Structure 1
Amino acid sequence: MVVKTIGTHSGTFHADDCLAVYMLRLLPEFKDSKIIRSRDPDILETCDIIVDVSGKYDGIKYFDHHQRYFNETFSENFRTKLSSSGHFGRQIISHRLDLDLDHPYVDVLYVKLYESFLEAIDANDNGIDAYPHDVKPLFKTQLEVSSLVANFNPWWNQPIDDNILFNKFLKASEFIGTIFLDQLDYYGKAWIVARELVFDAFKKRFEYDFRGRIVVFEQFLPWKSHLFQIESEFNTSGQILYVIYTDGKDWRVQAVPIALESFTSRKNLPESWRGLRDKVLSLECNVDDCIFVHSSGFIGGNKTKEGALQMAIKALDF
């Protein structure tokens, strides 16, 4: 059997080339491929595929993004220029989850993985900040994945040669690749499954409020991103104010945020309830079996589903 080769640049490595190589080796045709790290064009040209080096991009063999003319993005909905990782995402999702390439979940998961994981790697490698230059971050962090991968490179005062760099590259590639697979498995085996449950609850929302402002889940599940997407698809964005779900023992009523990553809610629970607990809270809101309402008003608890639902219904009138 002919062993295929993946070429990438030598020297200091980054998150995108480490991940690109790992992702390629997830595909059957590159499963046992040899890795060549070099900047010699003649050596690279012998490879079956070349990532993050060569000065060329054709989407077939050459996957460099450093050329002045290269301005490819993931789709028209994204502005971040691509790096060398992520180009075979659909095929990897299909293979990993045993889905046909044209299964609708494949594209949904591809977009989700890009916006939640891969875009940050593209942005980092292309020197794009996550926030405007005139905004000062509230704290410093070196815990984002591109920084963690960069830390696998030898320190300035450590021994360094091609063999040392190659072995550290393999460790960094395994590190970021494992994170990628964890993300893929979660979104493909848990997150996407929740979408149907969220959609079923969305369709039943008028059973609890004539304006459809309350959604009830019979179990805890990742609902936020699905709910925002479903609202958008049905032109109901902003209409759902509260969701109800169980934590396995008690029930929660949670205010829906104004945006997916926001801590600001569309309609907080009433101010007069906030910070109260148990019998004091039950007396204040006239609902039995109350447990608490958070001091910010974004969430509350009740011992029963009926109690949580009544809290939500009463909160609508404030």
Structure 2
Amino acid sequence: MIKFEKEVTGLVPDHGFTHGAKFHADDLFSTALLRLINPDIQVERGFDVPENFGGIVYDIGRGRFDHHQQDKEIRENGVPYAAFGLLWREFGSCFLTEEEAADFDEKFIQPLDESDNTGSENTLSELMEKFNPGWDSDASYDDRFWEAETFAEKILMHYIESIQGLRRASEVVVKAMEECDGEVLILPCYVPWKRNVIGSGYQFTVYPSNRGGYSVQGVPKSKEDRSLVCDFPQEWWGCDPQELPKVSGIATARFCHPTGFLAAADTKEDAEQMARIALERR
């Protein structure tokens, strides 16, 4: 579940307005973002902003959260803002730290903003636009908009949840790194570990598998280079589960991926031993 970084009550008004008819990823994710902050917001769609409208207006009206005017805002890297990016700049700190929010903007929002501004290809943008009624359909644009918005809201919510989860995972990983030997990291449970462990000197990570038993995974050399600091013995790669204990000499060894990045055993001790043998034989 999303946790807010600050008090959000009253931050987003109870009424919003965006453009009608055909919709895009931009207005869908903009609406999703506002609804995550204020689930009670009522958003109206249309072609002219009502006179003296007191709510938040976006992707229309040439105001603070629109990008169709000649003097629209452009990021320092040259990527133009769309409504989603403008709203995220304003409200992203509700969910994430400054660094996390900037990273999310770069990886998730900027491709959508660029696609909306330039028509460049983007799979997610194209997928969201497929919710629009077909040329010969009698479906309502508004009905389809809210169907698509629900989907966008789930994507956005789960993405933000995953980033917040990475922050909590770091606490677990750092503690385990302080307690282990610098080569084989033993985690008490599975948590995302790579961003803390890559480049740390650790060469393998052992953790309980959600399939039962324990997984042991090699640490990549860097975020850009996915090859491993230390490989498992090549004769283990893709070995038949019945043969792997004989080949490896480890009683409960049950799996080694055909590409050699991941192995598994029934016990934590045997999973760790797989890593130790790999270190000895490199």
Residues in 2 aligned to 1:44 and 1:150: alpha-carbon distance in whole angstroms? 29
Change (3 A) 1:118 1:219: same
Q: Secondary structure at the match of 1:26?
A: helix
Matched AA of 2:36: L
Q: Work out whether residues 32 and 156 of structure 2, in 8 Å CA contact, stay in contact via their aligned partners in 1.
A: no
1:101 — aligned with what?
A: none
Task: Write the letter of the residue equivalent to 1:180.
Answer: L
The answer to whether the Cα contact below 8 Å between 1:24 and 1:31 also exists between their aligned partners in 2 is no
Q: How does 1:246-257 map to 2 (within 5 A)?
A: 246-247=208-209, 249-257=212-220
Paired with 2:78 and 2:272, the residues of 1 have a C-alpha distance of 42
Verify the 8 A CA contact 1:23 1:88 in the aligned structure 2: no
* 1:261 positional shift: 8.2
Superposed displacement of residue 183, structure 1:
2.6
Q: Any residues of structure 2 matched to 1:274-285 within 5 Å, and which?
A: 274-277=237-240, 280-285=243-248
| Alpha-carbon distance between aligned partners in 1 of 2:126 and 2:42, rounded to the nearest angstrom | 27
Structure 1 gaps, min length 5: 57-61, 94-104, 131-143
User: In structure 1, what is the Cα distance between the partners aligned to 2:90 and 2:143?
Assistant: 24
Structure 2 counterpart of 1:50, from 51, 57, 60: 57
Q: Determine the structure 2 residue equivalent to 1:308.
A: 271
Q: What percentage of aligned pairs have identical amino acids?
A: 25
Of 145-154 and 83-92, the range deviating more from structure 2: 83-92
Q: 2:205 aligns with which of 243, 257, 263?
A: 243
Q: What is the rounded CA distance, in whole Å, between the counterparts of 2:22 and 2:71 in structure 1?
A: 24
Q: Residues 221 and 227 of structure 2 are in contact (CA less than 8 Å); yes or no, is this contact kept in structure 1? A: yes
Q: Hey, what's the Cα distance between the residues in 1 that align with 2:51 and 2:126?
A: 27
SS at match of 2:175: helix
User: Is 2:75 aligned against 1:81?
Assistant: no
2-structure distance, mates of 1:295, 1:156? 48
Once the 2 structures are TM-superposed, how far is the Cα of residue 265 of structure 1 from its aligned partner?
3.4
Change (3 A) 1:265 1:45: farther
145, 167, 176: which one aligns with 1:201: 176
Work out whether 1:148 is the aligned partner of 2:139. no
Q: What is the alpha-carbon distance in structure 1 between the residues aligned to residue 216 and residue 71 of structure 2?
A: 52
Q: What's the CA shift for 1:34?
A: 4.2
CA positional deviation for 1:129 = 4.8
Aligned partner of 1:141 in structure 2 is: none
SS of the aligned residue for 1:46 comes to: coil
Change in Cα spacing, 1:44 to 1:87, as seen in structure 2 (3 Å) is farther
Distance in 2 between the 1:71 and 1:149 partners? 24
Aligned residues: 264
Shift in Å, 1:155: 0.8
- CA shift at 1:14, angstroms? 0.4
Partner of 1:138: none
**Superposition TM-score, scaled by structure 1 size:** 0.69
Shift in CA distance, 252/13, structure 1 to aligned 2, threshold 3 Å: same
**What is the letter of the counterpart of residue 281 of structure 1?**
L
Q: How does 1:128-167 map to 2 (within 5 A)?
A: 128-129=120-121, 144-159=123-138, 164-167=140-143
The structure whose RCO (Cα within 8 Å, separation 6+) is larger is 2
1:54, CA displacement in angstroms? 3.1
One-letter amino acid matched to 2:189: Q
Aligned partners of 2:27 and 2:83 also within 8 Å: yes
Matched, 1:169 2:120: no
Q: Select between 279-288 and 145-154 the one with higher mean Cα deviation.
A: 279-288
- Alpha-carbon offset, residue 15 of structure 1: 0.9
